[in-house]
């Protein structure tokens, strides 16, 4: 790492263009985090910061960067996601995705959508457990871990006047902190700062130097890595301000170099009082641990030690076709290995309680124990009520139990997180597939057909099978079944589904249809002759069913009308509705009316002048 920095100083810093979301409206304590990312990158790169919608080709032509970094997936109702066009240009410039969010964030699907549309295959995350939560991108995921700014978090020489400082939320998302909170506050005089929320600008939120000085004035400060057992900023801010860190013993915290009673205190509800009592009675021992924690953080976890992106850039420049880059420790250096070596990046596995409940729920779901599965998925949601994976699985439970309306509600809610809130171009492909299946399970074949035609570039084996089934249910002949091989164009998903051949997959779908009383559709699937992934024979079309032929013709005309309207509205730059794509012409009429209304509001003087000119012209014509 130090060699990279020395070489960089000799030849000059490489130029990095950083597409960071527009965060200017965030509360100051969060805005500081975004500024620290830029400050860290500036240690190793000549950073050009882009915070506006832009054309990638124009940016690259103007600045000639060596590397491009794209932030995405940040969960916020205040920050503004960037719209970046022409990202397929300048293929010689490496592109990296930056997932600036919690490992379990429900906006991960938006991140994956952005990465696909921007043509980005390699990612960095601030969380050590992101690969554990999203295995489909683990192979291409590196960690750019949290850090401190040593100019802020340091020893201010404050007198130690606070025995225990507790700063942050106390709820089920932080189960370790919730367990030790009452234990500590009942025994020791404690200074407590409750978290006011990530969209809050409350004056009671302390941050920056004020926060660092308060840490510096405290003997002990606990830090919780959430239910995911990750490493958060507090794990470094506390010892970095020369206070003694109390933490849950987890693989991620140990990977950062923390050792119990050497540079921190690992404790739980069973031994935390004994350890603190011992250290208060032995102040020299407490001072030694506190000093060791301070040295660890300032030697390994400041922004000056976070050069992982520079390491990747330097290694990538000389990478041979038979080689790849791996990261064997989230806090260590990146290295190059031969692809044939079998060496992979060593990702942290923490087995948080939410993931344990999710995996147990999956076992029950596929064992057809739906009530038990639902109970476990709800347990997962008790920890993180906005997490996507248990919501999708609850939707599947509803289908198997014959309540497709509830399933559709859950899936529409998930899809709207992407289309309405994060405002990306398309949803998660597995969620979209089961939204279509939920429509089939309500007997809404026409709407399912329309939905299957939407997002035509969205590709995934689960979605391709769903589209194929929709075609089969329309009695279309000679429809090529989806390939058993996963397409290189397949979108990555946050969801993990069992690997089934086509025959078993269709059998499960038929079970769902029968549970939802769609017996006719289930019978049509039963008529398919499939062996493994090979379709031997599809049902023959009933050419005498004039009503069905006429229905299909009307539906085809309707689909073509929707596609034509879509094209026209795109040409007119009329934005889509921030929700599910339209299934009727009424939606386009409403959007057109809203667009006209905006024009009237935005350009009243121009319209007034046009009206006045028209009236004047009419008067002149009448006079003649």
The pLDDT value recorded for residue 202 is 61
Nearest alpha-carbon partner for 102 in 389, 485, 387 = 387
* 523 lies in the same domain as 578: no
pLDDT at 359 over 90: yes
192 within 8 A of 247, measured Cβ to Cβ: no
Q: Note the pLDDT of residue 586.
A: 78
Crossing angle of the two packed helices 353-366 and 370-383, in degrees rounded to 10:
160
CATH number reported for the structural domain that contains residue 174 in this entry = 3.40.50.2000
Averaged pLDDT, 102-111? 96
Specify the pLDDT at position 556.
Answer: 73
CA nearest 330: which of 141, 148, 102, 494?
Answer: 141
pLDDT single digits (tens) 283-339: 999 999 999 999 999 999 999 999 999 999 999 999 999 999 999 999 999 999 999
pLDDT greater at residue 443 or residue 532: 443
253 in a structural domain: yes
Q: Tens digit of pLDDT for each residue in 513-540?
A: 999 999 999 998 887 878 888 887 666 5
In a domain, 342, yes or no: no
The number of beta carbons lying within 10 Å of the beta carbon of residue 365 is 21
- Give yes or no for residue 255 having a pLDDT over 90: yes
Least confident of 99-103, 197-201, 397-401: 197-201
Range with the poorest average pLDDT among 28-32, 452-456, 620-624: 620-624
Cβ neighbours for 212, distance < 8 A, ≥ 6 positions apart: 152, 153, 154, 156, 237, 241
Domain assignment of residue 544, yes or no: no
Identify whether residues 392 and 533 lie together within a single domain. Answer: yes
Dihedrals phi, psi of 337, to nearest 5 degrees: -135, 160
Mean pLDDT of 448-477: 91
Which residues on adjacent β-strands are paired with residue 529? 537
Per the structure, the complete domain to which residue 470 belongs is given by 386-537
Are 26 and 137 found together in one domain? yes
Residue 487: CB atoms within 10 A of its CB come to 12
**478 falls within a domain:** yes
In this model, does residue 568 exceed pLDDT 90? no
Report the side by side order of strands in the sheet with 67-72: 46-50, 15-19, 67-72, 95-99, 123-125, 141-143
* CA-wise closest residue to 246 among 176, 170, 192, 149: 176
Dihedrals phi, psi of 55, to nearest 5 degrees: -105, 115
DSSP, collapsed to helix, strand or coil, labels residue 97 as strand
Is the domain of 390 the same as that of 371?
A: no
Inter-residue contact 474 to 492 (CB < 8 Å): no
With contact defined as beta carbons under 8 Å apart, do 36 and 303 qualify? yes
Do residues 421 and 514 both lie within one domain? yes
> Which segments of 25-174 does DSSP mark as H helices, in order?
28-44, 56-63, 108-117, 130-133
Q: Are 166 and 184 in contact (CB under 8 A)?
A: yes
Same domain, 402 and 497: yes
Looking at the structure, do residues 490 and 559 belong to the same domain, yes or no?
A: no
Please indicate, yes or no, if residue 226 is contained in any of the structural domains: yes
614 vs 422, more confident: 422
**CB-CB contact of 200 with 259 (8 Å):** no
Compute the 3-state secondary structure of the chain and give helix, strand, coil in percent, each to the nearest 5.
Answer: 50, 10, 40
Q: Is residue 353 over pLDDT 70?
A: yes
pLDDT digit string, tens, across residues 381-433: 999 999 999 999 999 999 999 999 999 999 999 999 999 888 899 999 999 99
CB within 8 Å of 459: residues ≥ 6 apart: 429, 487, 489, 490, 491
**Structure confidence at residue 617 as a pLDDT band (50, 70, 90):** very low
DSSP string, 367-394: TT-HHHHHHHHHHHHHH-TT-HHHHHHH
pLDDT digits (tens, 9 = 90+) for 43-93: 999 999 999 999 999 999 999 999 999 999 999 989 999 999 999 999 999
Asked if residue 123 lies in contact with residue 97, where contact means CB atoms within 8 angstroms, the answer is yes
- What pLDDT is stored for residue 596 in this prediction? 78
The pLDDT of residue 590 is: 79
pLDDT at 623 over 80: no
- Residues 175, 299, single domain; the answer is yes
User: Which of these, 278, 170, 293, 315, lies nearest to 240 by C-alpha position?
Assistant: 293
Q: Which helix (H) or strand (E) holds 269?
A: none
Q: What is the pLDDT of residue 619?
A: 44
Of the given ranges (10-19, 132-141, 176-185, 234-243), which has the lowest mean pLDDT? 10-19
What is the DSSP code (8-state) at residue 305?
A: G
CA dihedral (225, 230, 236, 237) positive or negative: negative
Average pLDDT for the chain: 90
Of 252 and 584, which is predicted with more confidence? 252
Is the domain of 476 the same as that of 398?
Answer: yes
Claim to verify: residue 77 and residue 205 sit in the same structural domain: no
Q: What is the arithmetic mean of pLDDT over 112-137?
A: 97
**In a domain? residue 13:** yes
Q: pLDDT-derived band of residue 589, with 50, 70 and 90 as boundaries?
A: confident
Q: Provide, rounded to the nearest whole percent, the portion of the chain with pLDDT above 70.
A: 90
pLDDT given at position 563: 80
Percent of residues, the chain, with pLDDT higher than 90: 75
618: in domain: no
Predicted pLDDT at 83: 95
Q: 502-515 vs 461-473: helix axis angle to the nearest 10? A: 60
> Is residue 457 over pLDDT 50?
yes
Q: Is residue 401 part of a domain?
A: yes
Number of structural domains found in the chain:
5
The DSSP result for 63-87, as a single string, is H--SEEEEEE----SSSBPPPEE-T
Q: What pLDDT score does 494 carry?
A: 97
- 94 closest CA partner among 66, 116, 75, 132: 66
- Range in 23-27, 226-230, 548-552 with the lowest mean pLDDT: 548-552
228 pLDDT higher than 90: yes
Whether residues 125 and 18 share a domain: the answer is yes
Q: Average pLDDT for residues 129-137, to the nearest whole number?
A: 96
Kindly report, residue by residue over 139-172, the tens digit of the pLDDT.
999 999 999 999 999 999 999 999 999 998 889 9
Maximum CA extent, the chain: 106
Q: Which carries the bigger pLDDT value, residue 615 or residue 292?
A: 292
Average pLDDT over residues 609-618: 52
Please identify, among 485, 506, 537, the residue that sits at the C-terminal boundary of a domain: 537
> Taking residues 499-519, what's their average pLDDT?
95
* pLDDT computed for residue 339 by the predictor: 94
Rounded mean pLDDT, 447-475: 93
Is the pLDDT reported for residue 452 higher than 90?
yes
Same domain for 456 and 491: yes
pLDDT at 620: 44
Taken in order 157, 161, 163, 168, the sign of the CA dihedral is negative
Cα gap 232→113, rounded to integer Å = 26
Report pLDDT for 618. 44
């Amino acid at each position: 790492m130090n060699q990279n920095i020395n070489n960089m100083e000799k030849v000059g810093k490489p130029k990095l263009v950083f597409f960071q979301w527009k965060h200017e409206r965030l509360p100051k304590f969060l805005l500081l985090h975004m500024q620290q990312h830029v400050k860290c990158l500036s240690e190793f790169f000549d950073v050009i910061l882009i915070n506006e919608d832009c054309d990638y080709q124009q940016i690259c032509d103007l600045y000639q960067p060596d590397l491009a970094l794209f932030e995405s997936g940040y969960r916020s109702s205040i920050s503004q996601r960037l719209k970046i066009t022409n990202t397929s240009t300048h293929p010689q410039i490496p592109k990296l995705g930056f997932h600036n969010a919690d490992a379990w964030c429900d906006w991960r699907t938006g991140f994956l959508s952005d990465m696909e549309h921007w043509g980005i295959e390699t990612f960095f995350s601030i969380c050590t457990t992101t690969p554990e939560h999203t295995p489909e991108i683990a192979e291409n995921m590196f960690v750019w871990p949290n850090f401190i700014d040593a100019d802020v978090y340091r020893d201010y020489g404050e007198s130690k006047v606070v025995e225990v400082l507790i700063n942050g939320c106390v709820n089920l998302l932080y189960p370790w902190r919730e367990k030790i909170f009452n234990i500590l506050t009942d025994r020791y005089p404690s200074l407590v700062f409750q978290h006011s929320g990530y969209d809050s600008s409350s004056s009671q939120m302390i941050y920056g130097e004020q926060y660092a000085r308060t840490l510096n004035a405290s003997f002990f400060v606990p830090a919780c890595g959430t239910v995911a057992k990750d490493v958060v900023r507090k794990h470094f801010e506390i010892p970095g301000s020369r206070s003694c860190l109390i933490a849950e013993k987890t693989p991620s915290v140990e990977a950062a170099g923390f050792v119990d009673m050497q540079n921190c205190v690992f404790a739980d509800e069973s031994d935390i009082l004994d350890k603190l009592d011992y250290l208060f009675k032995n102040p020299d021992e407490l001072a030694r641990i506190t000093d060791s924690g301070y040295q660890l953080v300032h030697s390994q976890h400041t922004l000056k030690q976070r050069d992982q992106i520079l390491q990747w850039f330097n290694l990538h420049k000389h990478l041979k076709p038979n080689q790849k880059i791996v990261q064997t420790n989230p806090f260590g250096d990146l290295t190059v290995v031969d692809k044939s070596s079998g060496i992979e990046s060593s990702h942290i596995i923490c087995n948080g309680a939410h993931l344990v409940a999710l995996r147990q729920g999956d076992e029950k779901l596929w064992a057809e124990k739906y009530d038990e599965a639902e109970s476990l998925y709800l347990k997962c949601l008790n920890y993180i009520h906005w997490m996507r994976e248990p919501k999708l699985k609850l939707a599947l439970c509803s289908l198997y139990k014959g309540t497709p309306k509830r399933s559709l509600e859950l899936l529409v809610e998930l899809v709207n997180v992407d289309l309405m809130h994060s405002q990306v171009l398309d949803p998660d492909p597995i969620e979209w597939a089961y939204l279509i299946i939920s429509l089939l399970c309500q007997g809404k074949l026409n709407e399912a057909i329309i939905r299957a035609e939407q997002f035509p570039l969205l590709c995934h084996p689960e979605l391709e099978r769903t589209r194929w089934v929709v075609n089969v249910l329309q009695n279309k002949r000679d429809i090529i079944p989806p390939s058993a091989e996963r397409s290189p164009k397949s979108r990555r998903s946050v969801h993990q589904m069992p690997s089934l051949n086509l025959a078993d997959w269709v059998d499960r779908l038929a079970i769902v249809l029968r549970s939802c009383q769609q017996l006719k559709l289930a019978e049509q699937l039963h008529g398919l002759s499939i062996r493994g992934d090979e379709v031997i024979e599809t049902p023959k079309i009933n050419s005498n069913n004039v009503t069905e032929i006429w229905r299909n013709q009307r539906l085809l005309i309707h689909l073509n009308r929707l596609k034509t309207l879509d094209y026209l509205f795109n040409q007119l730059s009329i934005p889509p509705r921030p929700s599910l794509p339209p299934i009727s012409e009424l939606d386009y009429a409403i959007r057109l009316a809203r667009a006209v209304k905006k024009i009237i509001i935005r350009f009243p003087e121009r319209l007034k002048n046009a009206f006045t000119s028209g009236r004047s012209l009419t008067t002149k014509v009448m006079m003649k």
